Amino acid sequence: MSSAFSEIVTAPRLMAMKKEGLRITAMTAYDASFARAMDESGMDVILVGDSLGNVVQGRKSTVPVTLEDMIYHTRCVARGVSRALLMADMPFLSFQGSVDQALRDAGALMRAGAHMVKGEGGGPFAANAAYLTARGVPVCGHIGLTPQFVHSLGGYRVQGRGAQAAHLLAEAQELAEAGVSALILEAVPARLAAEITAKVAVPTIGIGAGPSCDGQVLVMHDALGLGARRPRFVRDFLAGQGGVKAAFAAYIEAVRAGRFPSPDESYGE
């Protein structure tokens, strides 16, 4: 692992990586063993995603995942992490509730071992992001396809096409101004993701958002070829490798070299 990628990863470090042009690598984990393997492979960010509702609990969406679920898995993952930044999802209606609830739930996740929390949605929820960051809680925003909103979105669909593009750009800028430390862009056209990345000061981390983001994130089960769904932005990094740690290393190398995602793994207008 090069010295540029061997130091402990913090919220300010993510900002520095954007300025230095170093691509950020991120992946979800839900237990200590996989988290340790990612950490030792050099992953920058390990996300305890509420995607555990899909890949661990076998549910159809992330909506049923509770705060208690997230606390439990965050504690597990924290035991396997020594250098990566540990990010934890705030579950459905946690980040989107009152500022008091958002602060209480974020505090519980931080006490469980998270270094940063992630909240879905922009617009009115930028105020909650500002409230948390003002109180010392690093926040990662998440816009575009927000899985917790799957029922109101009508399914897992690409966001930000046509007239929606200006709306998503405005949300990104509002969240950046609210003080978020990073911004997840999910399932948005590559051209829009590139524009957002150029116009906001905070690092963008894409999932189905093209190659121009400051970093990439995948659900671990998708990256290992185990996902029940196969969106176009997913690549099986375990194929042809000698094991799980080799797959993590291959993913990290592909992201840092700018070889993932490819144009075929990105969305157009």
* Structure tokens, 87: 């990010």
| SS3 category, 35 | helix
If one counts every other C-beta atom within 10 angstroms of the C-beta of residue 78, the result is: 18
Active site residue 269: no
**What is the spatial distance between Cα 37 and Cα 77, in angstroms, rounded to a whole number?**
11
Query: Could you please report the per-residue DSSP string of 96-133?
Result: TS-HHHHHHHHHHHHHTT-SEEEEE--GGGHHHHHHHH
**Angle subtended at Cα 11 by Cα 72 and Cα 220, rounded to the nearest 5 degrees:** 50
Annotated active-site residue in 120, 171, 174, 186 = 186
**What is the spatial distance between Cα 76 and Cα 29, in angstroms, rounded to a whole number?**
10
| SS3 category, 90 | coil
178 phi and psi, to 5 degrees? -75, -10
* CA-based end-to-end distance of the chain: 37
Give the active site residues: 186
